[in-house]
Chains A and B, each alone.
Chain A
Amino acid sequence: MAALWRRRRRLLGAAGLCRTARALSGKPEYDLLVIGGGSGGLACAKEAAQFGRKVAVLDYVEPSPQGTKWGLGGTCVNVGCIPKKLMHQAALLGSALKDAQHYGWNIAHPVHHNWSEMAQAVQNYVKSLNWGHRIQLQDKKVKYFNVKGSFSDPHTIRGLTKGGKETILTAEKIVIATGGRPKYPIHVAGALEYGITSDDLFWLKESPGKTLVVGASYISLECAGFLTGIGLDTTVMMRSIPLRGFDQQMASLVTEYMESYGTKFLKKCIPTKVEKLESNRLQVTWKNTDSGTEETDSFDTVMWAVGRAPDTKALNLETVGVKTNSETGKIIVDASEATSVPHIYAVGDITEGRPELTPTAIAAGKLLAQRLFGQSSELMDYDNVPTTVFTPLEYGCVGLSEEKAVQCYGSDNIEVYHAYYKPLEFTVAERDATQCYMKMVCLREREQRILGLHFIGPNAGEVIQGFALGIKCGATYPQLMKTIGIHPTCAEEITKLHITKRSGLDATVTGC
């Protein structure tokens, strides 16, 4: 311990005197220090403060290669869920404008979209959230430092401001919640210099124009989806399958809809280089792995959505012995969110084996704080976490995919009920409902417990949420069938599912 104190004394300036005093006294300055002011970190910090603890949050955004940066709140608020859903909404409103004509509204087509106006509105809202978070931390008496934190020793964090000024903080317990950042395909020439990622897209002041989105993740499809919806020439380049890890039948329906909606797809293609043209456009060359040929085209914007990597490099984890997964780089935690070092914890996207979702990070962060300071022993339940992909035709799901269920239980032991349906609102609007589909995967034995529920259609998130609750309660197929539907909605079709895949019968719902 003596060695540590001496080291701290060398580094501290005048401003750090009181901290030195406390450090010398042996007691860490804070009960809890959270590195990362995103969904998980903020939830944990605020909850801990409720128990009257001395809490600090460090948040710092390393600018993207293109120079984009943002305020407090993390990925979800700044470059994730929030701006994504708002821009998705802008695209949906574009469809609404087309529908409106059928419903009697005299609006001349085509209607044009102004990116700058939308971007500004979205960015202003995000900034209000940054502000709101700062106020909340203040209200809850959580100390906030806009510094980049790294470990000096197991209880000491060195924080660096943007200007290079240093702060030393000590804490009894530390939670790492630094999340992830988009990956660049660095083996592709020009990728770093000329391409952007989701970190940049939502903060663009000018329209991205003709865009190539590389990737098959939900980020890729959601972004390509709304870009198409606001009228931009958009292409998705995929190496292999869409939405890896999701139910593949549903994934296909999602991309099929996008194709009919106007998004172009380059399937089984991998980019080889990106060059800048005199016109400032980008020339992309790629290899079509099916035909073996090389193809090329020019775009205004190239966006990489090829995965995200945990933000652990700068943390200096090796110094303190926090173990990470050698392949993913993510921090290994146990069921209580504890790392390999007893008083150091981790929540959110940075943790290995956990869903990369805001609500799970928040829940995990809160429960962690309750266990650390509130005498609770409740662990986070990561089972049956519902989620929604906000593509032009949304996909909501909870539980197992069909292939996973077959893998776990065998196809003879599961029953899949399914239906193609048409939302009432699509009728007058003369919209194509070919991909509007739902399926329920159940155990076949007597009780018929529901293993997974999948829904493609408008407002998929709203539809799935309540059913996720039901599945948490161990819902069975008979129980769902006893539930009366609300008419007319899309969700009611779930309570009417009765055609099985096994029967081979036509699963198209007729009637209203």
Chain B
Amino acid sequence: AMLLFSRVNEAAKYEKKVMVLDFVTPTPLGNSWGLGGTCVNVGCIPKKLMHQAALLGQALQDSRKFGWQFPEEVKHNWMTMTESVQNYIGSLNWGYRVALREKKVTYENAYGEFVQPHTVKATNKRGVEKLYTAERFLIATGERPRYLGIPGDKEYCISSDDLFSLPYCPGKTLVVGASYVALECAGFLAGLGLDVTVMVRSILLRGFDQDMANKIGEYMEEHGIKFIREFVPIKVEQIEEGTPGRLKVTAKSTKGNEVIEGEYNTVLLAIGRDACTRKIGLDKVGVKINEKTGKIPVNDMEQTNVPYIYAIGDILQDRLELTPVAIQAGRLLVQRLYGGATTKCDYVNVPTTVFTPLEYGACGYSEENAIQKFGEENIEVYHSHFWPLEWTVPSRDNNKCYAKIICNIRDNERVIGFHVLGPNAGEVTQGFAAAIKCGLTKEQLDSTIGIHPVCAEVCIRSHLPIPASVAFWDKLLETQTSEFY
């Protein structure tokens, strides 16, 4: 994992003898990848690049309205994109191996598992076993996509582990799931011109602000992505082999006995991820895990119940599954272990962004969590729709982009939640997260001048946007307490 890189670099910095074991168990369809973990190979990086490819498709359409002239409809070539993406990932894998070498960190492409206290067995892909001992251990094995456990899932379905290196265009795709992985993938596949359907068991983006989640779903639906709500697949059969082939999916309603069928070229499962903790011999060294989720509980120093064994990243219980969190935690851990530092990782107000077609950046409390924690009467929600200037000329939606700020009245109207739906949401949200870390209040927000004309300024009160539909805008920054749905 990438976090491994920063952490071992950190440890190597203190001239400690460090070894990294990394091994990728192939997917059910036989897919594997190099050093760097989920983010680099089958997560953030390829995801964002394919999302960018989709955004560029939209840019192509917009550009005509800005005077750019080119003939017919422009088609997308999946292989060209995937090859470029994979080449870039390959350069990252290589970059990590070089960096580890430079920092004199021993790297083995082998599957590690504990066999007894202070000892791991490393098995490489040819089955050769070696034993290693160490003073301390850090478990950072991350997660892998979950399968449905229905007939045909492992044989015929793919997951995000397969999508980014698929050697053929997925074609008409059914995405099963309502996670950000599901929605982001469905989003860019549709943006590349594919026929996409999302099958959702219940709600979208569980754990995220539901008001924002629904807006994301609405936008996707309005832009051609089909949603089948409250159904789960019960069977996947192959009609025809091929690259892609044709699959028949049978699904059952969660609300009754209705059964539906559909035909797709590809079925992408994105229903959740499971921690890789069950088969690494944790029982041999006494590391406790949550039996139900497989996740490892740690204290605020990332230490497991076994003093010389630490854990980082997606496998941690009650922590966010995000690359920057893992990196930060890892770096600080090593500084504490070998650098005499005492700083712990700050998990509060960690910002994040969902790279759906309409991007969603968030930091702090969702509205429902804020109400639950502080009480309806103690929070104030300021909100506004906005129309990015770049969307005016190509006549794109003028009432879909949206921002809301949740304040704690009792605490000087401190900003406790920030949510923005619009282009470049990640770039917008990052700075606000820093401000929230500094204890931002509504008053400070109001007294800061906006940069004009950018989307981010809508979150600053001092600027009054001036779009064509004037009447609508009189509701700018309307105060609203609680009631939302």
Contacts and interface: CB of A to CB of B under 8 A. Distances in A.
Nearest to B463: A359
Contacts of B468: 125, 128-129, 131-132
B430 to A, nearest CB: 4
A494 B445 CA distance: 20
A90 B427 contact: no
11 contacts: A86-B393, A90-B68, A100-B56, A104-B192, A105-B74, A465-B451, A472-B435, A472-B447, A486-B324, A486-B433, A492-B324
B67 A488 contact: no
Nearest to B87: A428
Contacts of A363: 449, 462-463
Contacts of B431: 463-470, 491, 494
A264 to B, nearest CB: 23
A484 B433 contact: yes
**Interface SS of B by simple majority:** helix
Interface stretch (B75-83, B108-116, B283-291, B299-307): B75-83
B455 interface: yes
Contacts of A122: 393
Interface stretch (A21-29, A74-82, A186-194, A279-287): A74-82
B173 to A, nearest CB: 16
Interface stretch (A133-141, A246-254, A295-303, A500-508): A133-141
Interface stretch (B43-51, B139-147, B202-210, B259-267): B43-51
Contacts of A111: 68-70
A464 B451 CA distance: 8
A10 interface: no
Interface stretch (B152-160, B212-220, B436-444): B436-444
A357 B452 contact: yes
Contacts of A495: 430, 434
A218 to B, nearest CB: 13
B56 A469 contact: no
A36 to B, nearest CB: 16
B196 interface: no
Interface stretch (B13-21, B122-130, B177-185, B346-354): B346-354
B393 to A, nearest CB: 5
Interface of B: 2, 5-6, 39-40, 44-45, 48-49, 52-53, 56-57, 59-60, 62-63, 65-71, 74-82, 84-85, 88, 92, 95, 99, 192, 322-325, 328, 346, 349-353, 361, 389-390, 392-393, 424, 426-435, 437-440, 444-445, 447-457, 459-460, 462-464, 466-471, 474
A288 B424 CA distance: 43
Given A86-B390, A466-B428, 12 more contacts: A85-B390, A105-B53, A106-B75, A108-B71, A132-B468, A366-B462, A427-B88, A428-B49, A469-B435, A473-B439, A474-B438, A487-B323
Contact of B453 (A82, A108, A230, A472): A82
A99 B44 CA distance: 20
Nearest to A86: B393
Contacts of A445: none
B63 A121 contact: no
Contact of B324 (A116, A459, A480, A484): A484
Interface of A: 43, 73, 76-77, 81-82, 85-86, 89-90, 93-94, 96-97, 99-100, 102-108, 111-119, 121-122, 125, 128-129, 131-133, 135-136, 139, 230, 357-360, 362-363, 366, 381, 384-388, 396, 424-425, 427-428, 459, 461-470, 472-476, 479-480, 482-492, 494-495, 510-512
B453 A85 contact: yes
Contact of B60 (A85, A100, A113, A486): A100
**Interface SS of A by simple majority:** helix
B85 A428 contact: yes
Contacts, number: 320
B69 A113 contact: yes
Nearest to A121: B393
The residue among A76, A86, A463, A488 with the most chain B CB atoms within 10 A of its own CB is A488
Nearest to B79: A104
A133 B350 CA distance: 40
A142 to B, nearest CB: 14
Contacts of A114: 67-69
Nearest to B67: A118
Contacts of B95: 510-511
Given A359-B463, A465-B431, A469-B444, A113 B67 contact: yes
B76 A475 contact: no
B474 A510 contact: no
A462 B450 CA distance: 10
A160 to B, nearest CB: 27
Contacts of A473: 435, 438-440, 444
B434 A466 contact: yes
A111 B72 CA distance: 12
B67 A121 contact: yes
Given A121-B67, A363-B449, A428-B84, A459 B389 contact: no
B54 to A, nearest CB: 9
